Amino acid sequence: MPQLAGHRVSQSAPGTRRADSGARSLAHAADRRIGDGLRRGDPQALEAVRDRCGTTVFSYLRHVLRDRAAAEDVFQQVFTEVWRRGASYDAQRGSLATWVLTIARSRAIDELRRRRPEPLDPDTMPETAVPAPQDAVIDRWRVAHLLTRLPTEERELLRLRFYLDLSQTEIAAQLGVPLGTVKSRMVRGLERLRAMLDEEALA
């Protein structure tokens, strides 16, 4: 997960800050609308959850279960539970993605227990297999989901930096852009990402 706290960033232009704030407000409003739809039993709300979170959830399940067929089965279980528990989702307490990933983690534990019938304590399981909802691994998937909301150029830079561990110089060479451009885009991307993480923490 990106270590944001110690990263020095420049001040964004007022127009950029307003645009970022507007995008965050729209995302939070979308979570609220979807939550309202789930409480009403609106099937379109479930489709909206899949549109917003489905790719991230399926990638997480494949990473945890190491089996595509099992991931597909558990994916269906996750969204069945999202539908069944829709009335319990509260956008003021956290983002839609975090809520759905937490359900996915529980169903992944169930699947691993099914494979190993003997008693299985989630606290003793390898962290890389099934992380606790608030640990570094689940945060990594939450950040991966938030990255999809960034502009394409900024998203790709942060993916190369934090998920492929390339230096800024290596990124510039791979993408064929000036190093200064890489640095400025990365600053903007980190600012947007930090703002989204801060917004979720305050929700």
pLDDT in tens, 149-170: 888 888 888 888 877 778 889 9
Confirm if 166 and 158 have CB atoms less than 8 A apart.
no
The predicted structure's pLDDT at residue 116: 66
Query: Global pTM?
Result: 0.57
What is residue 6's predicted lDDT score, i.e. its pLDDT?
A: 36
Q: What pLDDT is stored for residue 16 in this prediction?
A: 46
Note the pLDDT of residue 27: 65
Domains of the chain: 14-148 (1.10.1740.10), 150-203 (1.10.10.10)
Q: Are 202 and 155 spatial neighbours (Cβ–Cβ below 8 Å)? A: no
Per-residue pLDDT 10s for the chain (203 aa) are 333 333 333 344 445 444 445 445 566 788 889 999 999 999 999 999 998 888 889 988 988 898 999 999 999 999 999 999 999 998 888 788 889 988 998 999 899 888 765 444 444 444 444 444 445 556 677 777 778 888 888 888 888 887 777 888 999 998 899 999 999 998 888 888 888 776 665 45
Q: Tell me the HSE value of 29 on the side-chain side, using a 13 A CA sphere.
A: 6
**What is the structure's pLDDT at 200?**
60
Alpha helices in 85-178 (DSSP H): 96-115, 136-147, 152-162, 168-175
What confidence score (pLDDT) does residue 73 get?
Answer: 94
